[in-house]
Chains A and B, each alone.
Chain A
Amino acid sequence: MVVFEKPKSLTDAQFHYCPGCTHGIIHRLVAEAIDETGVEGRAVGVAPVGCAVMAYNYFACDMVEAAHGRAPAVATGLKRAMPENIVFTYQGDGDLASIGMAETVHSAARNENITVIFVNNAIYGMTGGQMAPTSLPGQVTQTSPYGRDVKTAGYPIKICEILAALDGPEYIARVAVNNVKNVRNAKKVIKKAFENQIEGKGFSLVEVVSSCPTNWGMTPVKALEWVEEKMIPYYPLGVYKDRSAQEVEA
């Protein structure tokens, strides 16, 4: 009996990502959620600008490539045009938390019935390792060569904490993909973010704390250790908002 194989919602195309890049894991988790909820035929994904720009080649469902940061607006259009479809965005930290901050906040505030997968690896990967809105204080990048100095470059942006403060969104959660246990949990949370949309509950965002071995200058294994030691303490994992669950409790 097969206990693990590549999900059907991924195409045969091989990922272009660097060795050990966790984008591949997160792509697979999204595809598994699509497979397991049975929505591939009505799923429409929106790819970002960043390392995942060519995600449209990897997901077997219909795909749109959006301008940098605009994926939630494009997804809003797709969802409003065909509410029966299951629309998701897949965005990185520069895309979602910097240039696309307004689209992120407002699609959440509207409780737009879409699913947002937010990959936070604390760096701009595609352009060669610049400081991201989520780069940690002191983190060395190409554009913070002496370490991120919060006096001049400000502090990292904690998306889940910000969005959970809004009345609008249905579900805001942060997971990580640095070990088997966390990946298993990330899978559950991502699936829930799709189920919420299928049930018409509204905006669900899953922040996935992940790694960038190439631009962090580490081996893939070391990078995942750095996620555990540095990233997760700054970006605590957990469900930040789950309106339906909170309503049941109340």
Chain B
Amino acid sequence: MAKVTFDTDVCKGCGLCVSVCPKQVLGLSKTVINKKGHYPAEMLDEKNCIGCASCAIMCPDCVITVER
């Protein structure tokens, strides 16, 4: 079971993580605005996450920690 955590207030909502997720389990929030004023990335479908860390590898702001 993979676990992806976001340091939400550091996220700039660039969407690179969303674009590279092979399982398309991530998205940008439509409801939350973080401290920086962005719609941060969030997990939409945790059970289908494979913990590949592609999202974290493409994240320019070290927002994402991946556990497996």
Looking at the assembled complex, report how far the CB atom of A185 sits from the nearest CB atom of chain B, in whole angstroms.
11
Q: Which residues of A contact B62 (CB under 8 A)?
A: 6-7, 10, 24, 28
Cα distance, A24 to B61, chains bound together (Å):
6
Chain A residues with Cβ under 8 A from B12's Cβ? 18-20
Asked if A1 is an interface residue, CB under 8 A from chain B, the answer is: yes
Q: Is A81's beta carbon under 8 Å from chain B?
A: no
Using C-beta atoms within 8 Å of the partner chain, give the interface range for chain B.
20 to 34
Instruction: Answer whether residue A155 sits at the interface, using C-beta atoms and an 8 A cutoff.
Output: no
Name B residues whose Cβ lies closer than 8 Å to a Cβ of A: 10, 12-16, 19-20, 38, 51, 53-54, 56-62, 64-68
Tell whether A21 is near chain B: CB-to-CB under 8 Å: yes
Query: Are B65 and A23 neighbours in the complex by a CB distance under 8 Å?
Result: no
- What are 6 of the A-B contact pairs (CB < 8 Å)? A3-B53, A19-B14, A19-B38, A20-B60, A221-B15, A224-B19
A5 at the interface (CB under 8 A from B): yes
Query: Count of A-B contacts with CB under 8 A?
Result: 69
User: In the complex, what residue of chain A is closest to B60 when comparing beta carbons?
Assistant: A24
B13: nearest chain-A partner, CB-CB: A19
User: What B residues does A7 contact at CB under 8 A?
Assistant: 62
Contact of A24 among B15, B51, B59, B66 (CB under 8 A): B59
* Contact B65 A180, beta carbon cutoff 8 Å: no
Q: Are B60 and A4 in contact (CB under 8 A)?
A: no
Beta-carbon contact of B64 and A4 below 8 Å: yes
Chain A residues, CB < 8 A from B38: 19
A54 to chain B, nearest CB (A): 15
Is there contact, CB below 8 Å, between B61 and A14?
yes
B67 engages A2 (CB within 8 Å): yes
Chain B residues in 8 Å Cβ range of A5: 65-66
Interchain nearest-CB distance for A51 vs B (Å): 12
User: Which of B19, B60, B66, B68 has the most C-beta atoms of chain A within 10 angstroms of its own C-beta?
Assistant: B60
**A17 interfacial contact with B, CB 8 Å:** yes
A180→B58 contact, CB < 8 A: yes
Q: A residues within 8 A CB of B16?
A: 20, 220-221, 224
